[in-house]
Each structure stands twice: as C-alpha cells, then as structure tokens.
Amino acid sequence: MIPRRMAATMLAAGVALGASAQSSPEAEIAKYREALAAGNPAELWEARGEDLWKQKRGPKNASLEACDLGKGAGVVKGAYAEMPRYFADADRVMDLETRLAHCMVTLQGFRFEDATKRVFGAGTNRSDFESLAAWITSEARGTTMNVALAHPKEREAYQLGEKMFYFRGGPHDFACATCHGESSKRIRLQDLPNLTEKAGAQLAYTTWPAYRVSQGELRTFQWRLNDCYRQQRFPDLKFASDASIALTTFLARNANGAAFNAPAIKR
C-alpha cells in the first residue's frame, strides 16, 4: 500500500519547512506525527477486539471473558502494564499474545495451530490477535508500567532477553543493540530509540501496539520483534516462543515506571 496519508502530510511539512528553514528535521517529523495522531485508525481495531473478546467462538462456544490476564479472570483494565508475567496454570511466563493463544485453546477449544494460523493481518484478512491486543492494550492506557519479576521464571526470562538483546549474529553480525544502543540515530524518518537508556526504553515500549500508516495495519509487540529479526536477517522469531517472550520481558521491564500510551500511530 502506498502511504498516501503520509505523502499528503509530508507535502504540508515540506511547505512549513520552506517557511522556517531553521527548524530541524526532527521538529518537522514531530509535526507530521502530530498531524497523524488526530484520527488514529487503531480505534477500528479496538472496537473489533472488544467485540471478539465477548463473542462466543470455537468448538466450546465460549467467549474469552473468563480469560485470566494476570489480574484475575476477565480483568482487562491495566493488565497489559504488568505483562509478561508468570502464569501458574501454564507454568510459564507469557506475554499478552501468548496468553490469548493459551485462552483460545483452553477456554474456546481451538487447537493451537488453528488459533495461531493468522497472527499478523494483511488487508481484509484480519488477525484476531491484533484486534484483541488493540483493545486490551487500550484498556491499559495511562497505567504505569509495572513488570514485577517476582517469580524466578520471570527473572530467568529477563536475563535470557538481555542476552538476546546483546547477542550478535546472522549474516550482518547484528545485535538488537547495534541499532538500539546509541542515542539520536534514525533510519529515514524513524527515530531509533536507544533501548539501553531508561527514557528510550520507556518511550519505545509504551507506544506499541501501533497503527502503521505505511501498512494500514495495527501491529503488536510480537510483530515488532518479528520484523526486527527479519531486518537483522535472523531466523524467523516464532510467535509465542520462549525467545520472543524473553525479549519482550526484558524490554517491558526496562520500561517500568512510565505511563503506558498505546495503541499509538507510527509512520
């Protein structure tokens, strides 16, 4: 999809740039973002997600309303700000999407393979995960990030995630830290958050999921990591894998103390 919304806004930004030649590219990018934020289509996913959460589906004809996201069965408000976390019923640390897949299996009776057939949407083929995540994360907007690392398995996941973040590999000898270990860098229009610093880690983590204007899709944190791995030419990061959860745990914990502010809108 050609990002027409972006093209129009950039045209406007270009005119503004001509008028005040001194303003920095970063300030112009901020203006562009502001123009986009007025009508965030993420709301369309939020509405669909809320509906999906309450719909009776699957072989067991059950809704997800009994799904425990860590604050008790069916409690959605603020739940995302404390994830990933350890779930005793699955004896595993889980992020939101993994937990949703778990609930689709245990409550609705789907097979895991069927439930996770479409984890990332494309066009009219929507992903239930992206819609559900949009709504559930919107219910955590304004909540302070608080990933506790109280359970030994949570600490284990954090440590593994930290190792993965600094692990160099692949044909480009890349680590996550190669792009995200220095401040004030960007690729084209995108700021590269420095995830080794508190402020950068907080700003980055609290603005996912996000509506990607260039794709016309709402993207979740699993997608974000998956695409980082693709860009690093690493092997595919498997959806709901321990590796993906470990890296999420590392990044989520480093954002502790910041107010969660997603679904956001990004280029």
Active site residues: 228
Q: Of the listed pieces 40-48, 57-65, 72-80, 179-187, which binds another protein according to CB under 8 A?
A: 40-48
Restricting to residues 191-220, which ones interact with another protein according to CB under 8 A? 213, 216
What is the rounded CA–CA span in Å between residue 157 and residue 231? 23
Q: Answer yes or no whether residue 43 interacts with another protein by CB under 8 A.
A: yes
Q: Answer yes or no whether residue 2 interacts with another protein by CB under 8 A.
A: yes
What is the rounded CA–CA span in Å between residue 129 and residue 22? 44
- CB of residue 93 to another protein, shortest distance in Å: 34
User: Of 12, 16, 34, 39, which one interacts with another protein (CB under 8 A)?
Assistant: 39
132 or 149, CB closer to another protein? 132
48 or 219, CB closer to another protein? 48
72 or 123, CB closer to another protein? 123
Q: State the DSSP code for 216.
A: T
What is the rounded CA–CA span in Å between residue 16 and residue 42? 27
Q: Answer yes or no whether residue 266 interacts with another protein by CB under 8 A.
A: no
User: Of 23, 27, 31, 41, which one interacts with another protein (CB under 8 A)?
Assistant: 41
What is the rounded CA–CA span in Å between residue 127 and residue 143? 25
- CB of residue 167 to another protein, shortest distance in Å: 33
Strand segments, DSSP code E, in the chain are 85-87, 92-94, 185-187, 190-192, 210-212, 217-219, 264-266
One character per residue 153-192, x = contact with another protein (rule: CB under 8 A)? ----------------------------------------
Strand duo 264-266 + 210-212: pairing: parallel
What is the rounded CA–CA span in Å between residue 135 and residue 183? 32
Q: Answer yes or no whether residue 48 interacts with another protein by CB under 8 A.
A: yes
Work out the burial of residue 89: count CB atoms within 10 Å of its CB; fewer than 13 is exposed, 13-18 middle, 19 or more buried: exposed
Q: Answer yes or no whether residue 1 interacts with another protein by CB under 8 A.
A: yes
What is the rounded CA–CA span in Å between residue 44 and residue 24? 33
Strand duo 217-219 + 210-212: pairing: antiparallel
Report the greatest alpha carbon distance in the chain: 62
What is the rounded CA–CA span in Å between residue 13 and residue 35? 10
23 or 215, CB closer to another protein? 215
5 or 102, CB closer to another protein? 5
SS3 94: strand
One character per residue 97-116, x = contact with another protein (rule: CB under 8 A)? --------------------
User: Of 18, 72, 123, 152, which one interacts with another protein (CB under 8 A)?
Assistant: 123
List of residues contacting another protein (CB under 8 A): 1-5, 8, 38-39, 41, 43-44, 47-48, 123-124, 213, 216
